[in-house]
């Protein structure tokens, strides 16, 4: 995908213009989707949106989508279209390092076992080719479930249990090879590596060495142990993996808040609480904020990893800002600068982009290795006329001394602007969004999409007004926003945006909670989260939503994958996951004939899943390998 992005082609700019206007018409119109209570509902009924929607999809015009749509599912299985196969590749606990023991689901294995095994809760991942039939997968292990990890279900934690939990987090890198039976992983590869919450890393960029980054273990403010709550990912054209630290705050506790102490404004904005369900702070002082007040500042970053060198030190890139990072969508702008789009996944937080100071040089790998060290971070403001779900937008610069980021507003340096990027975003006037999840850049047109997964606080909290790109109060379905930078220049400061789709349930609702015209009773879903374009420009949408199949979510079944045609707006269901999972993590082989898909947390909240082994086995997060029986291109 990245290789394609680098082949600048002026013809694509034209395509992009037509794509954008078509999509606005196909996806949503003002008539179909006006905000504002009863008036909007009246317009909606008058427009007979269900009929409109069905008409739009009963005669699919898409040339991009070649597979047969599948129905929703409530089964404990992973379903793919007719003519496709899906096989498990690796599950939580499978041994990766040479001497690691096999998984045992008795919950009694010590930390040393988990340190050599695939981590828990597979999330974002990337595919790095070694040869035609060999590759590395770098995979995030977002969090762990104590009910499955321990025989005592987390009720009798010890110091070694905390180490085991820390080892279930982070990143797993392992070799895979293609055999006659399909892809399998190799336990004996020299590349295999576990990166955990205790792996030594370097802090680079504007916050490195700042006083707010120093702890009793690290007077330099440049050396940190570990990464955790690694949500989604990115990969760079120079062959490195980006892992994004999301809900890092949940691992820290400030127990004195129970005794009347008051959290400071930074702790409040980033969500430091009086307790942590993981209990690391009871056994590991750096997670106790009363003892190490700066340790939380060292987490919430994007980390760059060289998967080809298992001895390399992961680098935390502070120039990309500190927040609850979802993914890092990398593209090279036509002028050669690296652009990274970033979402901050919390209700009412923001969308960012980083533009590198230096340019990408395809023939200088060593220089590229530092491109994420220095650059400018921006945050998005979306503007719209009253009642419109499209408009213009601006990238607001987060640079110390500009746009009010001054001493008067509490910022004393660029380091502080990056460490407290959320607060800087508020000062400059960024738009509060409905939980930005993954961002994806179209490989040819460079149009950008971002999932806004849901937001029960929209229209409830003062700083989260209904309107513009967040048009529904108490939004429990989500939407996908799309923007095109001016002149298709990803470093531009201005853009045009619209909504590609608005998820909803047309069988339950007749108002704007039914969703946009491209949502029907046959493709409906809630809470779009994972997002990615394949080389042909198909948009892959993965959900992490409510799977009750009741009430507002009736008829939606388990979490699922949809594929959309950006030109026609058509959306078609491609896969469904097992009970109580989310589907997340999407990596294509370069030939586009294999896609790796993550099944995360099957059976969460004690739901009755035994995926993937069946019987009475413990449910285990698992990466699935999906191929076509005829060996063809996935999705075509």
Binding footprint of ligand FEO on the chain (CB under 6 A):
142, 231, 246, 326, 345, 437, 529
Question: Which of 248, 553 has the CB closer to ligand FEO?
Answer: 248
Question: Which of 175, 349 has the CB closer to ligand FEO?
Answer: 349
Which uninterrupted H or E stretch holds 241? strand 241-245
Query: What is the DSSP secondary structure assignment for residue 410, as one 8-state letter?
Result: T
Question: Which of 221, 436 has the CB closer to Ca ion?
Answer: 436
Given Ca ion, ligand FEO, none, residue 19, with its beta carbon under 5 to 8 Å by kind, binds: none
Nearest approach, Cβ of residue 231 and ligand FEO (Å) = 3
Residue number of the CB atom closest to Ca ion:
544
Given ligand FEO, Ca ion, none, residue 142, with its beta carbon under 5 to 8 Å by kind, binds: ligand FEO
Question: Which of 530, 569 has the CB closer to ligand FEO?
Answer: 530
Spatial separation of the C-alpha atoms in residues 222 and 213, rounded to whole Å: 7
Residue 491: phi and psi, rounded to 5, are: -95, 0
Nearest approach, Cβ of residue 78 and ligand FEO (Å) = 20
Q: Which of 334, 412, 410, 328 is nearest to 377 (CA)?
A: 328
Residue identified by tokens 């082609």 is 9
Question: Which of 416, 529 has the CB closer to ligand FEO?
Answer: 529
Given Ca ion, ligand FEO, none, residue 498, with its beta carbon under 5 to 8 Å by kind, binds: none
Nearest approach, Cβ of residue 50 and ligand FEO (Å) = 31
Given Ca ion, ligand FEO, none, residue 246, with its beta carbon under 5 to 8 Å by kind, binds: ligand FEO
Given Ca ion, ligand FEO, none, residue 344, with its beta carbon under 5 to 8 Å by kind, binds: none
Nearest approach, Cβ of residue 325 and ligand FEO (Å) = 9
Question: Which of 122, 505 has the CB closer to ligand FEO?
Answer: 122
Question: Which of 544, 567 has the CB closer to Ca ion?
Answer: 544
Nearest approach, Cβ of residue 517 and ligand FEO (Å) = 27
Give me the residues that bind Ca ion (CB under 5 A), please: 529, 544
Question: Which of 345, 416 has the CB closer to Ca ion?
Answer: 345
Region of residue 401 (phi > 0: left; psi between -120 and 50: alpha; otherwise: beta):
left
- The count of residues in the chain is 636
Spatial separation of the C-alpha atoms in residues 596 and 78, rounded to whole Å: 13
Segments in 247-304 forming alpha helices (H): 265-270
Spatial separation of the C-alpha atoms in residues 237 and 249, rounded to whole Å: 31
Nearest approach, Cβ of residue 437 and ligand FEO (Å) = 5
Query: What is the DSSP secondary structure assignment for residue 408, as one 8-state letter?
Result: G
Q: List, in order, residues 6 or more apart from 573 with CB less than 8 Å away.
A: 69, 70, 71, 72, 522, 523, 525, 560, 561, 562
How far from each other are the two terminal CA atoms of the chain, in whole angstroms?
16
Q: How far is CA 49 from the centre of its chain?
A: 31
Residue 517 Cα distances to 54, 72, 127, 249, 512, angstroms: 8, 19, 35, 39, 10
Given Ca ion, ligand FEO, none, residue 79, with its beta carbon under 5 to 8 Å by kind, binds: none
Nearest approach, Cβ of residue 122 and ligand FEO (Å) = 11
Nearest approach, Cβ of residue 119 and Ca ion (Å) = 16
Nearest approach, Cβ of residue 621 and ligand FEO (Å) = 13
Given ligand FEO, Ca ion, none, residue 485, with its beta carbon under 5 to 8 Å by kind, binds: none
Strand arrangement, sheet containing 436-441: 325-332, 337-344, 351-359, 375-383, 390-397, 494-502, 479-485, 448-452, 436-441
Question: Which of 570, 604 has the CB closer to ligand FEO?
Answer: 604
State the SS3 of 160-173.
HHHHHHHHCCEEEE
Nearest approach, Cβ of residue 542 and Ca ion (Å) = 8
Given ligand FEO, Ca ion, none, residue 218, with its beta carbon under 5 to 8 Å by kind, binds: none
Q: Which of 518, 512, 434, 432 is nearest to 36 (CA)?
A: 512
Question: Which of 57, 140 has the CB closer to ligand FEO?
Answer: 140
Given ligand FEO, Ca ion, none, residue 161, with its beta carbon under 5 to 8 Å by kind, binds: none
């Amino acid at each position: 995908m990245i290789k394609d992005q680098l082949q600048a082609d002026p013809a694509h700019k034209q395509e992009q213009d037509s794509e954008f206007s078509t999509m606005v018409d196909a996806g949503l119109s003002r008539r179909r989707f006006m905000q504002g209570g009863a008036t909007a509902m009246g317009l909606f009924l008058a427009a007979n949106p269900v009929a409109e929607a069905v008409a739009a999809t009963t005669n699919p015009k898409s040339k991009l989508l070649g597979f047969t749509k599948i129905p929703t599912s409530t089964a404990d299985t992973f379903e793919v279209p007719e003519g496709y196969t899906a096989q498990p590749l690796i599950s939580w606990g499978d041994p990766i390092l040479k001497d690691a023991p096999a998984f045992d689901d008795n919950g009694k294995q010590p930390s040393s076992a988990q340190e050599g095994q695939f981590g828990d809760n597979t999330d974002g991942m990337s595919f790095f080719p070694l040869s035609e039939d060999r590759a590395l997968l770098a995979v995030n292990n977002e969090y762990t479930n104590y009910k499955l990890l321990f025989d005592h279900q987390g009720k009798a934690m010890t110091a070694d249990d905390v180490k085991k939990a820390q080892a279930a987090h982070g990143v797993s890198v392992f070799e895979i090879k293609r055999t006659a039976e399909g892809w399998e992983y190799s336990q004996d590869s020299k590349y295999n590596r576990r990166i955990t919450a205790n792996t030594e890393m370097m802090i680079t960029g504007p916050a490195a060495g700042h006083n707010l980054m120093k702890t009793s273990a690290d007077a330099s403010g440049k050396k940190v142990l570990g990464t955790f709550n690694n949500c989604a990912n990115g990969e760079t054209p120079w062959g490195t993996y980006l892992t994004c630290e999301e809900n890092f705050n949940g691992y820290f506790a400030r127990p004195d808040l129970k005794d009347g102490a008051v959290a400071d404004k930074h702790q409040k904005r980033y969500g430091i609480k009086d307790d942590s369900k993981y209990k690391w702070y009871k056994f590991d002082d750096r997670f106790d904020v009363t003892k190490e007040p700066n340790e939380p500042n060292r987490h919430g970053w994007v980390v760059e990893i060289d998967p080809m060198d298992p001895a390399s030190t992961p680098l935390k890139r502070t120039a990309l800002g500190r927040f609850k990072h979802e993914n890092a969508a990398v593209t090279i702008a036509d002028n050669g600068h690296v652009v990274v789009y970033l979402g901050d996944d919390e209700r009412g937080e923001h969308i960012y982009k980083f533009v590198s100071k230096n340019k990408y040089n395809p023939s200088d790998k060593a220089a590229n290795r530092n491109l994420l060290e220095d650059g400018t971070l921006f945050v998005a403001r979306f503007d719209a006329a009253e009642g419109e779900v499209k408009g213009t937008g601006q990238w607001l610069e987060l640079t110390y001394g500009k746009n009010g980021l001054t001493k008067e507003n509490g910022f004393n340096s660029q380091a502080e602007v990056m460490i407290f990027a959320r607060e800087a975003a508020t000062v400059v006037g960024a738009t509060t969004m409905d939980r930005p999840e993954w961002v994806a850049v179209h490989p040819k047109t460079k149009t950008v999409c971002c999932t806004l997964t849901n937001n029960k606080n929209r229209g409830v909290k003062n700083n989260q007004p209904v309107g513009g790109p967040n048009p529904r109060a108490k939004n429990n379905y989500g939407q996908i926003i799309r923007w095109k930078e001016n002149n298709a220049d990803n470093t531009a400061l201005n853009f045009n945006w619209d909504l590609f789709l608005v998820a909803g349930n047309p069988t339950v609702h007749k108002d704007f909670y039914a969703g946009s015209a491209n949502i029907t009773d046959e493709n409906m879903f809630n809470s779009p989260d994972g997002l990615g374009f394949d080389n042909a420009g198909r948009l892959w949408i993965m959900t992490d939503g409510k799977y009750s199949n009741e009430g507002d979510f009736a008829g939606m079944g388990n979490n699922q994958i949809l594929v959309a045609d950006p030109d026609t707006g058509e959306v078609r269901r491609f896969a469904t996951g097992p009970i109580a999972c989310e589907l997340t993590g999407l990596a294509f082989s370069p030939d586009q004939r294999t896609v790796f898909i993550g099944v995360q947390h099957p059976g969460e909240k004690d739901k009755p899943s035994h995926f993937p082994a069946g019987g009475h086995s413990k449910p285990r997060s698992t990466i699935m390998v999906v191929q076509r029986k005829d060996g063809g291109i996935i999705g075509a």
